[in-house]
Amino acid sequence: MANSPHDALFRYTFGQIEHAIPLLQALLPASVGAACDWSTLRLCPGTRLDRQLRRHQTDLLFAVRGRFLELRILIVVEHLSRTDRWTVLRLLDYVLGVWRQIARERPRPRRLPRIVPIVVHHGRRPWRGPAEFTELLAPAPAAGDAATTQPRFRCIVRSFTELAPREVDGLALTVLGKLSIAALQFLPRAAPAEMLEWFGRWAFLLRQLVRSPAGGEAMSALSEYVLTTSATPADALIEIVHHTVDREVSEIMETAATKLRREGRLEGIELGRREGRQEGRQEGRQQGLREGRVQLLLQQLERRFGALSTDYRARIAAAGEDELERWALAVLDAGSLAEIFA
């Protein structure tokens, strides 16, 4: 079971070998990719049990053979507004768990396969976490060579945060692969204007996708992601797609929205959006009323006592509602500024 809509879309797309191969070829070092026989690539089961019988879910784990190697490729997807400093430690735990599981197999292997861990990161902020496990360790003591006794573990990090839309077009991926990366990077919490730009830019690829084999199913998966992660209401999204892409794609999205509502997966999201907008409007009204009271008090004081000093203006700007009301009433009878603010 996917933990989030981001995981669900990534696993749906790149859990299919035809879409996974171009992605892996783009992510791996060229020397490693060249040594792989991509016709042998297969997806391994991701769920495993550790020694305490707790379930863990790896994101995507692949096995591939080559002339001189047997390789496992582990891809972990990170969708974070802030970098998770401990991702490399979690990856090391995943890798050890995979090796333990392989060592329990019968017949027991003589050697363990090499595992290449990859972090695929997308989000509003760049990835700034460690890629090397030793970066998490305390400094080595001056005496002795303690560093040589520590695990050496490094992961490959590929962040799409600073990827421009034109660079997504240039990726050597399948149509669904490009659209999935573009959706993961640019669509979460997107406002209507951003959605209009996104669908307009990738309208040609979306039409290509729908007309491809199994394109309707792929567009349904993409639609569910868009509907559950953007800040734009479902009806507005369907209207945007109808005008920027075509009616066929908008009808698929409308069917996906109906399915999500029937399953109760869209109601909470839409309610949260409405409540957020209502809270924002209420907060805006309250802020507007307060600013109006501040400006009125400043005008009253300057009419009676002349230009105010910076200190008085700062004090009024930081005042609470009770203070503003008290000072506004005092203006009527006070003989000086000092008397008002005493």
Return the pLDDT at 252.
95
Q: Which residue has the tokens 């191969």?
A: 21
Residues 6+ apart with CB under 8 A from 341: 312, 315, 327
Which tokens hold the place of 269?
Answer: 């999201």
Return the pLDDT at 204.
94
Q: Are strands 55-57 and 47-49 parallel, antiparallel or unpaired?
A: antiparallel
Return the pLDDT at 56.
54
Return the pLDDT at 199.
92
> Crossing angle for the helix pair 267-305 and 321-330, nearest 10 degrees?
30
Return the pLDDT at 144.
55
Of 161, 232, 244, the residue nearest 197 (C-alpha): 244
Return the pLDDT at 53.
45
Positions in the chain short of pLDDT 70:
1-3, 46-58, 79-83, 141-147, 267-290, 292
**Residues 185 and 225: beta-carbon distance below 8 Å:** no
**What 8-state DSSP symbol labels residue 52?**
T
Return the pLDDT at 6.
87
3-state secondary structure 298-320: HHHHHHHHCCCCHHHHHHHHCCC
Return the pLDDT at 334.
79
Q: pTM of this prediction? A: 0.72
H helices present in 202-246, as ranges: 203-210, 215-229, 234-244
- In order of 26, 30, 71, 115, 172, the CA distances from 66 in angstroms are 17, 14, 8, 14, 22
Encode burial over 142-167: b for 16+ CB neighbours within 10 A, e otherwise: eeeeeeeeeeebbbbbbbbeebeeee
Which tokens hold the place of 258?
Answer: 């109906």
**Residues 140 and 146: beta-carbon distance below 8 Å:** yes
Return the pLDDT at 79.
67
Strands across the sheet containing 70-79: 36-44, 60-66, 70-79, 114-122, 156-159
Q: Give the span between the Cα atoms of 332 and 317, in whole angstroms.
A: 20
Return the pLDDT at 218.
95
The 10 Å Cβ neighbour count of residue 307 is 8
Q: Give the span between the Cα atoms of 176 and 52, in whole angstroms.
A: 39
Q: Give the span between the Cα atoms of 175 and 32, in whole angstroms.
A: 25
Q: Give the span between the Cα atoms of 180 and 6, in whole angstroms.
A: 10
Return the pLDDT at 342.
74
**Residues 210 and 219: beta-carbon distance below 8 Å:** yes
199, burial (CB in 10 Å: exposed 0-12, middle 13-18, buried 19+): buried
Return the pLDDT at 271.
44
Q: Which residue has the tokens 């197999």?
A: 105
CA 93 from centre of chain = 23
